[in-house]
Amino acid sequence: MALPAALRGAGRRRLRPILMTTLCTIFGLLPLAFSLGAGSELQRPLAVAVIGGLLFSTVATLFVLPALAEFFLRGRALLQRGAGAP
């Protein structure tokens, strides 16, 4: 199977579980991020940091890492093809 097709297939297969896990965690932390009760000044920064980290890691997992994998694997294939030529 060609690399771009494999990356797209893996992305399609893993998209739903990754989004479900991320969204459930984010929605679970939203009350903590927007709470106004006693002690909320201690919990709010933690919730905001976790939500931001989840959003960043989700984007990185679904878009950035497959693009980097394709870039580096294509570069390696070009180097190997060029090294074999006289």
Cα-Cα-Cα-Cα dihedral of 17, 7, 59, 22, to 10°? 10
Cα–Cα distance, 65 to 2 (Å, whole number): 17
The yes-or-no verdict on residue 81 having pLDDT over 80 is: no
Query: Quick check: 70 and 4 in contact, CB under 8 A?
Result: yes
How does pLDDT run across 14-73, given as a tens digit for each residue? 899 999 999 999 999 999 999 888 888 889 999 999 999 999 999 998 889 888 988 888
Q: Does the predicted model carry a pTM greater than 0.85?
A: no
Query: Quick check: 18 and 57 in contact, CB under 8 A?
Result: no
In 10 A of CB 47, how many CB atoms?
19
Q: What is the band of 5 on the pLDDT scale with cuts at 50, 70, 90?
A: confident
